[in-house]
Amino acid sequence: MTGWDRYRPLDGGWVGLLRRTSWRVRCGIVVEREGAVVVVRSAGDDEHRLRQVVRALPAAPASVVVGTTGKAVLPVLARVVADRAGRGAGVVRLVAPGGLPAVDPSWWRRLAEATGVELLVPSGPVAVAGGTLFVRGDHERLPGTWRRYAPGGSGRDLGPRHPPPHWQDAVPASGTRVHGRLIAEHLPVGVVLRPAATAPPAEWHAVAPDPHRVTVIVGVPGGPRVCAEDVTDYLATLLPEVCAAARLVCGDGQDAVTLGRTAAGLLGTAVTVVDGTPVVRGDEMRFTLRDGAGRPTWAPYLQEIRCPAGEASAAPLRWRVPVAGLVPHSPGVFRVDDGWLLGVMRSGLWLRRNGRPPHPVPVGPPVDPAVVTLAVGDPGEPLPEQVWPVLADLVDRLDADVLPRLRLSVLGEPGPRGRAAARELARGRDIGIRLPGAVSGQPLPGPVRSRSSASTSDRPR
């Protein structure tokens, strides 16, 4: 008989308990079954919060959600783990949104030995990011980690994310200092390089990681600018293959392509950058621009840009479809109708005539959190009257959050009737407009060709 047998079944036995939906045991502990997940909590815990965690959990391995940090839960937890083992579970993962009770690690080791199951135990509070469970820690003293306790073995740290992305072991531990000025703090999606006196927004802990590449967020909203040299020094600590796949996100508001070009020149290799910062709305995450007050505005259509180390221009890498139902024409370009194509660029969209070779994807001018530019035509070329109904239909199909920020930038020559039609279109939809000859805003630069080798990552998505 082991030491765990002193935790006797309560009020009808544990098998009966776990067949019921909910059971209150002594010391104010409640055990509930939520589908395949068992919840162990105190009577005063936030049930709604715990159910949200349960709904977000991956199907495997077997999970026990622990809602209280009080030590009174430990004997109950021991019996629940034993019950899971008796039902054939080989691995039991403990998920604690507020952290587990503070006990000596040997307690978990002995529980694994007594029940014959492998335990996955978090060292701190657990955040759910998509299908990833992330352990938050004290980054100055004790980084968060999952710890595996196997029968007959000692505890082994697995890192802060479970299941682990491919790059997890290649990223330096959370709390790593960069030249004493920056802290490299782990997030589910990757790492944020932040000045010591700042903190990342709480919502960044809900952003799921890409299994195949790490995201490095540079700075935080409202914080000091992080210099490219410090970013480069951190990237240089990564394995070459991890660094090559990484993407840079500017959390401090600096221009992503400028940072990417500088970092690529210092590293001697191309760097991928993203405009905007992560914003989670419901089950969807988009990289979204923020205004001066840190409020989200709009999500760029050009999602990722590859910045080369040499003199070549930055090139589009990934993008999203601007309007549902558009048919892809070429990388980053969509067919609106037989006569017109729509290309994505950093600052918005570009509607141009079809039938001219080639039709490259323009990177375009920097993003503006307050303005989504819809460029029309090419400088100096006449615009036929047929463009205005095409343009009106396109504007009406754009996302509702884009319209208040939309500005038409008419680059082609519309003629007198075309100018009247353009003004009427803008006035009827309450959007801004800039016609040829107006001296306002920043002119669009010449187009930049996309990479000649269109890989699978070049496909519109």
pLDDT value at residue 34: 82
pLDDT value at residue 26: 57
Specify the pTM.
Answer: 0.85
Determine how β-strand 284-288 pairs with β-strand 22-25: unpaired
Gap between the Cα atoms of 183 and 176, Å rounded: 6
Question: Which burial class, exposed, middle or buried, applies to 55 when counting CB atoms under 10 A from its CB (0-12, 13-18, 19+)?
Answer: exposed
pLDDT value at residue 28: 79
Q: For helices 256-267 and 228-235, give the axis angle rounded to 10 degrees.
A: 50
pLDDT value at residue 362: 61
At 202-216, the pLDDT tens digits run 999 999 999 999 999
pLDDT value at residue 5: 36
At position 162, the amino acid (one-letter code) is H
Question: Which burial class, exposed, middle or buried, applies to 88 when counting CB atoms under 10 A from its CB (0-12, 13-18, 19+)?
Answer: exposed
pLDDT value at residue 150: 95
Q: Which of 35, 102, 41 is nearest to 66 (CA)?
A: 41
Residue 157's SS3 state is strand
Q: How far is CA 12 from CA 30, 84, 242, in A?
A: 15, 17, 54
| Per-residue DSSP letter, 431 | -
pLDDT value at residue 139: 59
Concatenate the DSSP letters of all residues of 217-271 into one string: EES-TTSPPPPHHHHHHHHTTS-HHHHHH-EEEETTS--HHHHHHHHHHHHTS-E
Q: How far is CA 293 from CA 203, 253, 289, 369, 425, in A?
A: 16, 11, 11, 11, 31
Q: How far is CA 336 from CA 19, 24, 63, 447, 461, in A?
A: 58, 62, 49, 19, 17
Residues of the chain with pLDDT under 70: 1-27, 139-141, 356-362, 438-461
At 14-47, the pLDDT tens digits run 434 444 444 555 567 888 888 788 999 888 788 8
